Structure 1
Amino acid sequence: MTEQPLILEMGMGADVHGHDMTKAALRAVSDAIRHSSLTLFGTYKHPGEMRVEVTIAVPFPDQVDRQAVADALPYGIIDVTVVEGGLHDRGMGGKEDITLAVAGVKAFLDTGEHGFVPTAGA
């Protein structure tokens, strides 16, 4: 296999009135993937073969619905990892507290039979 990392995107998402870790995570993933127009995968006609690694950082990792995060991505074989991080701002108090999630989305594709050759140092 000649799998190559082809995309790395970062995103942030917030839930400003509910402390919902999954909602913040979904918004972070959406933010990350909106930064790219991934025409590369359509060119090689194999977007379903793409392997996608998603890392979500939130204050309370056990409260994230990993399947909901995976379902938010349109293509590929998705692996979601959730770690402690992000922000839980208690400065406003009560329902006005803010939960912030950070997402890293990496996409990989086996380029062995596609004629795709990354440049040196990529």
Structure 2
Amino acid sequence: MAEARMVLQIGMGTDIRGGEPTKAAVRALRDALWHNSLTVTHALGVDVDSMRVKVTIGVPHPDKVDKAQVLAVLPHGTGTVEVVEGGLEIPTEDGRGVTLLAQAAAEVFLDLPARNAA
């Protein structure tokens, strides 16, 4: 068996007024996942929970993201979360808060039989 990346999903999430990195990260992953219906496991005849999902989140203050909350968004399979510096932080008009933007990439991997080179 050889693991192959089957899908790359991308999304964006925000926390308009609270500046909470975890809230923006969770929304970004939901945005990436909820606009798709993955039928690849059905087409290949494999269990949907056999997917391995590698989640990468780009957000200001990555150390403040609760990875468990982000991982809990995944409906199937097993996953990992890596949080890196990225996204945007925009001060509110009154200067008392920020609007925070996060980006998410979800890579879906499956173990497939090795293909013979032709």
After TM superposition, the score normalised by the length of structure 1 is 0.86
Which amino acid letter does the alignment assign opposite residue 24 of structure 2? A
Give how far 1:77 is off.
1.4
- Give the match's secondary structure for 1:94: coil
**Percent sequence identity over aligned pairs:** 44
| Cross-structure match for 2:83 | 82
Higher strand share: 2
Give how far 1:41 is off.
1.9
Question: Which 4+ runs in 1 deviate beyond 3 A?
Answer: none
2 CA distance for matches of 1:104 and 1:51? 13
| Cross-structure match for 1:9 | 9
After TM superposition, the score normalised by the length of structure 2 is 0.89
Any idea what the Cα deviations from partners look like across 1:29-50, whole Å, max 9, x if unmatched?
Answer: 0000122110122342411111
Which amino acid letter does the alignment assign opposite residue 49 of structure 2? G
1 CA distance for matches of 2:77 and 2:89? 31
2 CA distance for matches of 1:90 and 1:19? 9
Where do residues 6-85 of structure 1 align in structure 2 (5 Å cutoff)?
6-43=6-43, 44-85=45-86
| Cross-structure match for 2:96 | 94
- Give the match's secondary structure for 1:99: strand
Are 2:57 and 2:105, in contact at CA under 8 Å, matched by a contact in 1? yes
Q: How many residues are matched? A: 113
Any idea what the Cα deviations from partners look like across 1:85-118, whole Å, max 9, x if unmatched?
Answer: 10011152213x20000000000001229xxx7x
| Gap runs ≥5 in structure 2 | none
Any idea what the Cα deviations from partners look like across 1:13-36, whole Å, max 9, x if unmatched?
Answer: 000111110000000000001221
2 CA distance for matches of 1:33 and 1:86? 18
| Cross-structure match for 1:105 | 106
Deviates more, 1:86-95 or 1:8-17: 86-95
